[in-house]
Every structure is written in structure tokens, then in C-alpha cells.
């Protein structure tokens, strides 16, 4: 271990807020730094992970390369986990309390909390539960109840902590043990694990509930500037800028369709708003380690807002439903029918939820899309371009609409939920003429 890193860790361990986590444990770690084999490892990006000295490998503290505490674990004398907490990319502390709950589907459960950051362990708001794990040697990926109740980034922060513990104890292959194998969960797992590369079409296999091996591959998170958190393994995977997440498009053989992307440009890494296979606006420029080189101001736009034509609502509902769980189709239609959609300036992003039922879509995105469509040859090629632009808007709205639809379905009666599940088992309906009318409108150069 580099002596400079050991000296930096020793300094971090002197901070009162760090010592308060486990005074005896932190003191033991500090003494252990003088041993020939100090209880610490360093990540390739500069993260430091400290372990309690002794024959058991018990992870205790994680720091990013700027010295920010990003995770802490408190262990009991019998070797079981007392509690753990991890810092999300946007600065919220999520707590994990083992064995604090039960669930009718899987029994013993661990509770997740939003914590008060001013104390080592101070649960503030109960979030949800996951199936209980043996954190001394976790050997499966637990299901999570009501993941929509978690703040953005909290699920992957907890999964990353679990993946790190698995790696500590040499657990090299695990499987998800739960009833909700969704595409959203699959992409979340990709941030902390790697699927078995021998599997063909792993996403379809996962969503069908078939066995799929996952290899623990935890990432490092570095808070490199105010409002900027970089997530990396061999390279930068994800960047959170002012709570907006930018993703690298390729994750093993899986391509993520994202409106905010991380892309390489020579020795620079760009965080860009993205649509129609092109950048709309660059929001951040980093070096390969994730240090900020430039932070461009959002492009100004002072044009007035304008409502979307009524045909958008029904057509988007159909398109979003086709890429969602079938049981959500009815709730998605209800959500879309209540939304107020408008084109408006959205500085630094492509979409903004206004609160209540309002959503603004970027006028800059509309201009880029319509200009691209007008440049296509009239006829089938322009119609195809219009269809593609409409689909991109549906995928931009999809995550937020699905969350609203899930909440609506969960609030419905048991009878209504059963009807939704039964309806979802039928064949996928044909697209209505609303989609065709919207594509024709957009292909004509209007939106």
C-alpha cells in the first residue's frame, strides 16, 4: 500500500464524525495501519476501504478519493452486522437495518431507512424492506419491496454495498432470488454486477425468470465537485450532475437507451443530452478519472411554452405501455390522460416535471428533432423519421410515467389489481390510429 494513501486514511480516521461511527473499531483500524499488512485496500479510482483488523474480513469504512465518507458498517461482537449506511450520488444517506422486519412473500427482512446525516445512525424516514441477508457472507441478490419508494440512486447504492461484501468474501457468482425480474432491476444490477458473459440474451432470460448468474463488480463513487458524482470501474460508467444521471450506453453486450449519455471524445469524457443518435447539448466535460475540466452553462432559451397537440397523449400512452409491464397498461393510460404536456425551455435537461400533473419537454429537443425530420426525403423515409422521434419522446417520458402508474395501481382495490393482472396476460393489442396520426403530424414538420 502506498504510504501516502495510508497517511491520508490515518488523517481521515481522526475526524470526529468518523470516530463516532464506532470509536473502538476506528481506533483498531488506526493502529492496524502501522502493521506490515494494513487492513485497507485502494480502488483503481482512488477509493479507500478500511476493514476491522482480525481474521474475519469485515468492511467498516469507505472513502472516495476526495476524502468523503461514502459508506460505513457497524458490526456486532458476534460477527453479525448491526447496521450499514451508504451515500447516494446526490448526497443522501441510506441506512440498512438487518432483521428489522418481515414480509409475507419471503419472511425475515432487512429495513431500509433515509437517515439523518448529522448522526452516525439516526433513522428518519422508513423507506421499504428487502429479503434478509447474512452480511458476513451474502450469497444471493435479495428482492426489494416497492423500489419506487427509494430516492433516486438509493437502490444501486445498497446493491453496490452488497456486491462489495460479496467480493470481500470471495463470493464469485450469485443469483437474484425474487419475484420481480424487471428491465429496470436488470439495468440497476448492471451497475454493481456483471452478468455471466456466456449467456445469450441475458435480459430476456432474466425477465423470463430463468436462472442467470451475476458476478459481483462493485463500482467506486467519487464526489468530485459540488453537485457532481462520478461512478467508475474500469472507466466512467455514470455521472450524476445536479441529480440528473448520465450513463455510458454500452454495458457488456447490453445497450442502454438513455436521454443523457456519457461518451468519450479522445482524452475527454462528455456528459451530453442525447436524442436521435446525436448530442443535443454537452453539460459536463471530464478527464478519464472523472475530474471536472469544464462545466458549460445551460444554453439559454426564452421562448414561451406551448401545449402539445391532444393526439400526443393517447399515442404516447400506447407506446409507453408497449415497453412496460402489461399489467400497467390501464394505469399508464389513466396517468397520461391526466398529464399536462407542453414544449417549454428546460435549461440543462430534456424534461422537467413541474409538480402535480405538469411535464415540460425541451423546446430545444423539439427543434433538433423537427429540423432532422425536415432534412429527410419526403415519403417513407420522413415518415420513419417521424416515428422514431415520437418513440424517443415516449422513452423520455416512460420512466416517470411508469412510476406514477405503479403508484396508481398499488392504490387501487385488490379487485382492480387482479383485473389489471388478468388483462396483462392477453396478447399485445395493435397500435391504434392515434399513433399513425401523431407520426403523420410530426413527419409534416409540426409538433
Give the residue ranges of the chain where pLDDT is below 70: 424, 426
Give the 3-state secondary structure percentages of the chain, helix then strand then coil, rounded to 5. Answer: 35, 30, 35
At 147 the pLDDT is: 87
**What secondary structure does DSSP assign to 321-389, as a single string?**
HHTS-GGGHHHHHHHHHH-EEEEE--TTSSEEEEETTEEEEEHHHHHHHHHHHHTSPTTHHHHHHHHHH
Distance from the Cα of residue 317 to its chain's centroid:
23
Segment holding 48, helix H or strand E: strand 48-52
Phi-psi region of 108 (alpha: psi -120 to 50; beta: other; left: phi over 0): beta
In whole angstroms, give the CA distance from residue 17 to residue 118: 9
What pLDDT sits at residue 177? Answer: 87
Which residue, 120, 121, 114, 117, is CA-closest to 152? Answer: 114
The SS3 of residue 193 is strand
Annotate 89-154 with DSSP letters as a single string. TTS-EEEEEEEEEEETTTEEEEEEEEEPTTSSS-EEEEEEEEE---TTS--SBPPBS-GGGSPTTH
CA dist., res. 87 & res. 64, Å (int): 11
Task: Compute the distance between CA of residue 213 and CA of residue 256 in angstroms, rounded to an integer.
Answer: 20
Cβ atoms within 10 Å, residue 69 = 18
Kindly list the distances between the CA atom of residue 435 and the CA atoms of 54, 243, 388, 391, 442, in Å, as whole numbers in the listed order.
Answer: 64, 32, 12, 10, 11
Q: What is the pLDDT of residue 418?
A: 85
Question: Please, what is the average pLDDT of the chain?
Answer: 93
Alpha helices in 172-239 (DSSP H): 183-190, 202-207
What's residue 346's pLDDT?
Answer: 95
Q: Measure CA 5 to chain center.
A: 30
* Residues contacting 174, CB < 8 A, separation 6+: 138, 139, 140, 141, 166, 193, 213, 214, 216
Check: pTM over 0.85? Answer yes or no: yes
Query: What are phi and psi for residue 244, nearest 5 degrees?
Result: -95, 130
102 CB burial (10 A radius; 0-12, 13-18, 19+): exposed
Which residue in 158, 151, 152 sits closest to 130, CA to CA?
158
Q: How far apart are CA 363 and CA 385, in angstroms?
A: 18
DSSP string, 233-290: SSSEEEEEETTEEEE-SEETTEE---SEEEEEETTEEEEEEEETTEEEEEEEEE-TT-
In angstroms, the CA 318 to CA 332 distance is 8
Question: How high is the pLDDT of residue 198?
Answer: 92
Q: What is the pLDDT of residues 233-266, one digit of tens each?
A: 999 999 999 999 999 999 998 898 899 999 999 9
Strands 358-362 and 340-344: parallel
Phi, psi for 416 (deg, rounded to 5): -65, -40
Helix axes 311-322, 329-338, angle to 10 degrees: 150
* Residues 261, 185: Cα–Cα separation, whole Å: 19
Q: How far is it between the farthest Cα atoms of the chain?
A: 75
Residue 50 DSSP SS3: strand
Amino acid at each position: 500500500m502506498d504510504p501516502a494513501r495510508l497517511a491520508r486514511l490515518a488523517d481521515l480516521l481522526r475526524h470526529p464524525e468518523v470516530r463516532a461511527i464506532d470509536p473502538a473499531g476506528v481506533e483498531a483500524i488506526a493502529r492496524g495501519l502501522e502493521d506490515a499488512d494494513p487492513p485497507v485496500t485502494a480502488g483503481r479510482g482512488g477509493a479507500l476501504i478500511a476493514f476491522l483488523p482480525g481474521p474475519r474480513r469485515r468492511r467498516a469504512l469507505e472513502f472516495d478519493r476526495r476524502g468523503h465518507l461514502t459508506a460505513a458498517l457497524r458490526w456486532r461482537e458476534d460477527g453479525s452486522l448491526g447496521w450499514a449506511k451508504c451515500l447516494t450520488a446526490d448526497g443522501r444517506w441510506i441506512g440498512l437495518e438487518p432483521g428489522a422486519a418481515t414480509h409475507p412473500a419471503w419472511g425475515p427482512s432487512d429495513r431500509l431507512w433515509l437517515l439523518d446525516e448529522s448522526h452516525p445512525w439516526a433513522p428518519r424516514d422508513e423507506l421499504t424492506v428487502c429479503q434478509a441477508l447474512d452480511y458476513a457472507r451474502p450469497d444471493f441478490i435479495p428482492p426489494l419491496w416497492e423500489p419506487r419508494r427509494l430516492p433516486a440512486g438509493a437502490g444501486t447504492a445498497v446493491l453496490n454495498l452488497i456486491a462489495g461484501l460479496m467480493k470481500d468474501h470471495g463470493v464469485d457468482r450469485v443469483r437474484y432470488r425474487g419475484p420481480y425480474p424487471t428491465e429496470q432491476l436488470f439495468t440497476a444490477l448492471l451497475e454493481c454486477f456483471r452478468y455471466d458473459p456466456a449467456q445469450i440474451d441475458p435480459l430476456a432470460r432474466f425477465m423470463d425468470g430463468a436462472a442467470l448468474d451475476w458476478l459481483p463488480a462493485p463500482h467506486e463513487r467519487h464526489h468530485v465537485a459540488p453537485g457532481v458524482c462520478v461512478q467508475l470501474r474500469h472507466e466512467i460508467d455514470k455521472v450524476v450532475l445536479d441529480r440528473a444521471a448520465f450513463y455510458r450506453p454500452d454495458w457488456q453486450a447490453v445497450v442502454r437507451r438513455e436521454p443523457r449519455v456519457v461518451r468519450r471524445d479522445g482524452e475527454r469524457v462528455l456528459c451530453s443530452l442525447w436524442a436521435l443518435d446525436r448530442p443535443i447539448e454537452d453539460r459536463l466535460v471530464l478527464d478519464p478519472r472523472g475530474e471536472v475540466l469544464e462545466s458549460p452553462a445551460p444554453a439559454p432559451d426564452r421562448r414561451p411554452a406551448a401545449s402539445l397537440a391532444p393526439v400526443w397523449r393517447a399515442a404516447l400512452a400506447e407506446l409507453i405501455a408497449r415497453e412496460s409491464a402489461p399489467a400497467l397498461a390501464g394505469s399508464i393510460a389513466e396517468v397520461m390522460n391526466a398529464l399536462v404536456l407542453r414544449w417549454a425551455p428546460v435549461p440543462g435537461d430534456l424534461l422537467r416535471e413541474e409538480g402535480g400533473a405538469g411535464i415540460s419537454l425541451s423546446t430545444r429537443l423539439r427543434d433538433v428533432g423537427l429540423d432532422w425530420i425536415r432534412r429527410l426525403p419526403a415519403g417513407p423515409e420522413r415518415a420513419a423519421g417521424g416515428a422514431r422521434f415520437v418513440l424517443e419522446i415516449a422513452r423520455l417520458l416512460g420512466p416517470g410515467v411508469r412510476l406514477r402508474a405503479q403508484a396508481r395501481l398499488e392504490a387501487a382495490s385488490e379487485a382492480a389489481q387482479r383485473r389489471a393482472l388478468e388483462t396483462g396476460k392477453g396478447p399485445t393489442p395493435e397500435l391504434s390510429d392515434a399513433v399513425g396520426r401523431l407520426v403523420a403530424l410530426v413527419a409534416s414538420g409540426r409538433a
